[in-house]
Amino acid sequence: MTSTPLGGPDTTPDVRGRGHGYAAHPHKKVTLYFLATGLLALLIGVLIGPLQALNYAGVDVYSHLPFLKSYYQGLSLHGVLNALVFTTFFISGLLLYLPCRELGVRPNLIVAWGAYWTMTVGTALAAVPLLTNDATVLYTFYPPLMGHPLFYIGAAMLVAASLVVGIQTVTIWWGWKRRNPGRVTPIVTYMSVATWMMWFVASLGLVVEVLVFLIPWSLGITKGVDPLLARTLFWYTGHPIVYFWLLPAYVSWYALVPRQMGGRIVSEPLARLAFALFLLISTPVGFHHQYTDPGIPALWKVVHMLLTFLVAVPSLLTAFSVAASMEYAARLRGGRGWIRWMGRLPWKDAIFTGQALAMISFIFGGAGGIANASMAIDAVVHNTAWIPGHFHITVGTATTLTFFAVSFWLLPHLTGKKLASPRVALWSVWFWFAGMMVFALGMHWEGLLGIPRRAQISAAGPELQAVYHKAAVPMALTGISGMILLVGAVLYFGVIFATLLGRREAGAQEVPVPFSEQVAAAGKDGRVHAMTRVLENLWALFFVALALVAVMYGPELVAMLLNQHPVPGARLW
């Protein structure tokens, strides 16, 4: 940390790190529980993945499995555990822990444990109907598909608990601001608070959908739900939730990776700007998931399309800024030339390499996202295998592979135990990356050939069989990628289990939290950059974000609320 107004000295021992013995501390324990539970959910979800991949290769495993009734039950478990449960636990642990360490503050542990247990019980409740095939509604749970009430109640508890963690983080930051008037929020805390505020705005749709509509409906209190209204509320949250998954990875790419590469952050103000933009415009873009839904005027779809292009801007800023940090670090390490400097990056280190591979795959994931956002192109790829292709190289790598890499230093930091095998860790991230790239290639290609997403191939009629026949090569790629990913997962979880079950060595050193310094600590004349001053007003940004969604969603939501066509629930599985 620099000791300028940006950041300020941190007295917690492991920030400057080195030379301090491992210190157990109660916040570490609850963080470990959040991460480990998230990873356990991921383990189960990921093991179902190869079965989905084999489905695309035309191999029907499900009819031979005693514990899963259908492809759709497997897909529901896979999506819910990986995309919703794993991410929420991991992010809640991470984005409370990092700001607390950066500010040198301890959170209220009763609140943190309360949130952890609410999340865990909620997940367990939702898992029961998923496992008994009573909530085979996929991770989007579109009405009129109706799952067991426990599924919705569990999901509500998961989200509510994440909001509690968010409120706690924001409260801690606000307390720090009041104790330190005039000081600028340190970068990791700034990013974390912006992410949580974004999630407060973003989660409103899901909260209303589940609490007001789905729970009463599944309990039989109300007779029907309007599918269009429910889908709209779902995607109100369903788009920005992807930034709730992405931004914690960006926190690491901007603020931790530079130190892990032996470099510095090239521009803190730019990093702050990216997060401020995400806070402002992550949410009012959800209609890009509903271009083909009837009942939404084309004008609003176009408005959301334009805003979607705008929300790609902070990611483009990130691409340039993070790449510049990489080059800076590589040149400090003696890197030369236009491209050759890349070879000087610490490629033997799984912590760096996992994140670099996550970034590389996100170049393709992001480009695909911009294609999806274009209304005319989306008509070609919507509801095809292209879409799962897209999201496995976004949430499946940018997020998940980054979290793998983070776990390689964070679990040792939290437990005082050594990473079991840095070599196997390195192999695991390469396998994961390779598997996801092959998967994405196969799925994008299939999508262009018209293969639908969410299709149990073995159940297809003759017309679809003909389409499948044309797509034999990409479908084989998808099947193969599932096997590569399985190897990656076995290696990754092998390292994690060996680390967590290993023993702490006597005299273990504290693994430092790799908070990075920045190249130029402040603006000209040693003063805080003017933009940083403006962006420091996170509350103002938060209220502007709320006003923006009110304008961009308000009219359509009011129209839908006043003109509902409720339908009863259906069980199609």
Please identify every residue annotated as catalytic: 239, 243, 390-392, 453-454
- The contact mask relative to ligand HAS for 302-321 (x = CB under 6 A, - = no) is ------x--xx--xx-xx--
CB 512 within 8 A of CB 17: yes
Give the span between the Cα atoms of 163 and 157, in whole angstroms: 10
Give the span between the Cα atoms of 209 and 263, in whole angstroms: 45
The encoded tokens of residue 446 equal 């299939």
177-to-68, 107, 255, 452 alpha-carbon distances in Å: 51, 15, 20, 51
- The contact mask relative to Cu ion for 238-277 (x = CB under 5 A, - = no) is -x--------------------------------------
148 binds Cu ion (CB under 5 A): no
For ligand HAS, which stretch binds (CB under 6 A), given 107-115, 179-187, 382-390, 523-531? 382-390
The number of angstroms, rounded, from the C-alpha of 8 to the middle of its chain's C-alpha atoms is 29
Q: What residues numbered 138-167 form the site for ligand HAS, per CB under 6 A?
A: 140
Q: For ligand HAS, give the closer residue by CB, 388 or 514.
A: 388
377 binds ligand HAS (CB under 6 A): no
Helix (H, G, I), strand (E, B) or coil at 396: helix
Q: Would residue 296 be called left, alpha or beta, if left means φ above 0 and alpha means ψ between -120 and 50 degrees? A: beta
- Maximum CA pair distance of the chain? 73
230 binds ligand HAS (CB under 6 A): no
399 binds ligand HAS (CB under 6 A): yes
Query: Which of the listed partners (Cu ion, ligand HAS, none) does 391 bind, with a CB threshold of 5 to 8 Å by partner kind?
Result: ligand HAS
The encoded tokens of residue 100 equal 């607390």
Give the span between the Cα atoms of 346 and 375, in whole angstroms: 41
Q: For ligand HAS, give the closer residue by CB, 191 or 511.
A: 191
Q: What is the dihedral of CA 150, 155, 160, 165, to 10 degrees?
A: 130
Query: Which of the listed partners (Cu ion, ligand HAS, none) does 308 bind, with a CB threshold of 5 to 8 Å by partner kind?
Result: ligand HAS
Q: For ligand HAS, give the closer residue by CB, 148 or 304.
A: 304
Q: How far is the CB of 55 from ligand HAS (least distance, A)?
A: 17
Candidate list 16, 20, 27, 382; residue touching ligand HAS; CB under 6 A = 382
Q: For ligand HAS, give the closer residue by CB, 354 or 369.
A: 369
The encoded tokens of residue 181 equal 């008037």
Q: How far is the CB of 79 from ligand HAS (least distance, A)?
A: 8
Give the span between the Cα atoms of 72 and 135, in whole angstroms: 10
Q: How far is the CB of 308 from ligand HAS (least distance, A)?
A: 5
342 binds ligand HAS (CB under 6 A): yes
514, with CB counted inside 10 A (0-12, 13-18, 19+), is: buried
444 binds Cu ion (CB under 5 A): no
For Cu ion, which stretch binds (CB under 5 A), given 108-116, 159-167, 231-239, 471-479? 231-239
Q: How far is the CB of 187 from ligand HAS (least distance, A)?
A: 17
In sequence order, which ranges of 286-385 are alpha helices (DSSP H)? Answer: 298-311, 313-332, 350-373, 375-381
Q: What is the distance between the terminal CA atoms of the chain, rounded to a whole angstrom? A: 55
28 binds Cu ion (CB under 5 A): no
Give the span between the Cα atoms of 490 and 507, in whole angstroms: 31
Q: Which of 349, 386, 344, 350 is nearest to 369 (CA)?
A: 386
Q: How far is the CB of 365 from Cu ion (least distance, A)?
A: 12
The encoded tokens of residue 448 equal 């262009």
Q: How far is the CB of 200 from ligand HAS (least distance, A)?
A: 19
Binding site for Cu ion (CB under 5 A): 239
Interface residues with ligand HAS (CB under 6 A) are: 140, 242, 245-246, 288-289, 308, 311-312, 315-316, 318-319, 322-323, 326, 342, 356, 359-360, 362-363, 366, 369-370, 372-373, 378, 382, 387, 390-391, 394-395, 398-399
